[in-house]
Amino acid sequence: MDEIRIDHIITGLETGGAEMMLRKLLEQMEPARFRSRVISLTDSGTMGRAIEGLGVPVETCGMKPGRLAPGGFRRLLAFLRKDRPQIVQTWLYHADLLGGIAGKMAGVPHVLWNVRHGNLDPHRNKRTTLWTVRLNARLSRRIPQAIICNSRQAMQTHIAAGFASDRFILIPNGFDCSKFAPCDAARKAVRDELGITATAPLVGMIARFDQQKNHEGFIAAAKIVASARTNAHFLLAGRGIVNENSQLT
């Protein structure tokens, strides 16, 4: 069987859900069947070295987040024309837009988008993000052969926003259950560090501080639980979860 060349184009490689899922996907792909490469529109971020450690090359276009740079787009197009992949799979809105256009211009036979966002509330998204979503909706019938969604909510949200309904494929996030499994030692270590007894309820929210993550909703729910279970504890962790965050405190 001939080797299949796949270029994954992503907006950036800072640590996040899409970036982690890309890395997990690359870990599980058969190197004898697929030759993968990752192209970041911005820089290699915190994930670039980890991906290169899998034997997957990482290229960068040097764009600033949220900004279209003609020079960066030309580099992206040059990468595709030189490598001539059979498949381009894009991750996140700006990569869907620019990677999709570049893939078509480079004559890539199969262009696939990734949509991994389930809330288009104008109060919880940047205007530039919503503009990109609207443009992608218009192009969704012309550029991607398929649009991969990781949740039914995301799929329904984007169909309502004007995306081509017949392009969507639902593939939920996958997890390695040998790694993500209950661990008595880790449970005890965290509780000992925080001074929480073994029997007290402990509820955690692991997410960066962002309106999309709805920390306000978590705190409102915690108030209800704490009023009924006075020994309950609540743990927040993630980027921006610090004492200096006055909005959170």
Three-class SS state of 39: strand
pLDDT digits (tens, 9 = 90+) for 86-112: 999 999 999 999 999 999 999 999 999
Q: What are the pLDDT digits (tens) for 154-196?
A: 999 999 999 999 999 999 988 888 888 899 999 999 999 999 9
Residue 1 pLDDT level (bands cut at 50, 70, 90): low
Residue 24's φ and ψ, nearest 5 degrees, are -65, -40
The pTM of the full predicted model, rounded to 2 decimals, is 0.83
Beta bridge partners of 3: none
Residue 125: pLDDT band with limits 50, 70, 90: confident
pLDDT in tens, 11-38: 999 888 899 999 999 999 988 899 999 9
Give the Cα separation of 167 and 194 in Å (integer). 48
Q: What is the DSSP string of 86-150?
A: SEEEEESHHHHHHHHHHHHHTT-SEEEEEE------TTSS-HHHHHHHHHHHHHTTTS-SEEEES
